Amino acid sequence: MIRPALDALQPSAPTVGRRMSYAQFLRLDEENNHFEWVDGRAIPMAAVTDEHSLVAGWLATLIRMFVEARKLGVVHVDPFQMKAAPDLPGRAPDILFVANRNLSRVKKLHVSGPADLVVEVISPGSRGLDRGNKFFEYEQGGVKQYWLIDPERKQPEFYLLGRDRLFRLANQANDPTYHSVVLKGLWLKPAWLWRRPLPTVMSVLKQIGVA
């Protein structure tokens, strides 16, 4: 039996660790494009769990359908790229929303500038990055609203960028419902995210008053 060449079994090789411009990075044609551009190199992103995939997919569907119904802008999901500022890494948030007034930032392969809303659903392998580097990059880049959703801990955190360009955590202690500032009219109960099975998106949209 003829064995395939070893190189044929490897991911298309020259990507990880090789220095490249962001423009070169965006033109990469990888079978696995689950990468971000950091310090001039393509960095593989952490693997996602089943829990992560369920919650991220549910939120993405809810937000996209709400945005489409209200004609508010566009929604993209990982692995679509966002480069919030020229001197910041290129990231692939789980979900990003760009409002109509900022649609000029949306290019063919990435968002050039900050999205209005970024959502990251935390997996065990991404916790430090989502709470650390990405938090400060999104803050520095001017993302207006940053949602951090931790299914394992059943912990949602909703941050809003203040006039001082610092994220402030919304106080949810006595309120089981969160109302988005960026997506006006969108509200959700974080408890929905921990239900199994998750509530249907259509039932939630009806409660919000969209469907």
Domain locations in the chain? Answer: 14-44, 47-208
Give me the average pLDDT of each 10-residue run along the chain (211 residues).
37 67 88 84 92 97 98 97 98 98 97 98 93 97 98 95 96 82 95 96 96 72
Residue range 47-208, CATH number: 3.90.1570.10
Residue 13: predicted pLDDT: 45
Three-state DSSP class for residue 37: strand
Q: Backbone phi, then psi, for 13, in 5-degree steps?
A: -60, -55
Produce one character per residue of 69-102: b if its CB has 16 or more CB atoms within 10 Å, e if not: eeebbbbbbbebbbbbeeebbbbbbbbbbbbeeb
